[in-house]
């Protein structure tokens, strides 16, 4: 049995990869982290951008031609909003010129409220009546709490 042709085939196949490994340092543990570990808090422009992206998604997804469930679409948009704030800004937001750290649950509720409000303005025909009523109820509660 002659094994030489098989060995030369493997040798021809593996030698370039071996040489490539010698030319490039493949040890990723020694490399310094090039990304900045300081995450800037989300400012009003950032929040408006992420909110606009969420509204765009909700309005497109809830169109009659596509007919996705509005509440699910709103949930996906709010979850994406939270994920971006979490990953890009480390859950930090600038509020009244102060940097604050916000929990995911509060971010989700806030994102849902903001996106729903803008969706009512942007694509009112796509927003179910029940969602509009809940939004208006929350607005009245907020207005009453500010009066006290």
Could you tell me the residue range of the domain that residue 103 belongs to?
Answer: 44-128
Number of domains in the chain: 1
Phi, psi of 62 (to 5 degrees): -95, 10
Specify if 33 maps to a domain: no
Q: Residue for token digits 């929990």?
A: 103
Q: Report pTM.
A: 0.70
Specify if 56 maps to a domain: yes
Q: Which two tokens stand for residue 19?
A: 């040489």
Specify if 52 maps to a domain: yes
Residue 118's pLDDT is: 95
Residue 84's pLDDT is: 93
Question: Which residue intervals of the chain are DSSP H helices?
Answer: 4-23, 44-61, 70-89, 104-122, 129-147
For residues 42 and 92, the answer to whether their CB atoms sit within 8 Å is yes
Question: Which residue intervals of 62-127 are DSSP H helices?
Answer: 70-89, 104-122
Half-sphere exposure (CA, 13 Å, Cβ side) for 34?
2
Residues of the chain with pLDDT under 70: 1-37, 148
């Amino acid at each position: 049995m002659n094994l030489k042709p098989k060995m030369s085939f493997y040798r021809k196949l593996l030698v370039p990869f071996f040489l490539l490994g010698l030319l490039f340092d493949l040890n990723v543990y020694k490399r310094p982290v090039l990304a900045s570990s300081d995450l800037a808090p989300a400012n009003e422009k950032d929040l408006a951008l992420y909110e606009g992206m969420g509204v765009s998604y909700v309005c497109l997804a809830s169109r009659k031609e596509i007919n996705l469930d509005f509440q699910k679409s709103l949930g996906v948009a709010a979850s994406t909003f939270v994920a971006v704030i979490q990953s890009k800004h480390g859950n930090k937001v600038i509020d009244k010129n102060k940097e604050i750290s916000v929990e995911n649950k509060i971010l989700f509720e806030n994102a849902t409220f903001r996106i729903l409000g803008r969706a009512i303005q942007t694509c009112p025909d796509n927003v179910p009546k029940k969602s509009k009523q809940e939004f208006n109820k929350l607005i009245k509660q907020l207005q009453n709490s500010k009066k006290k």
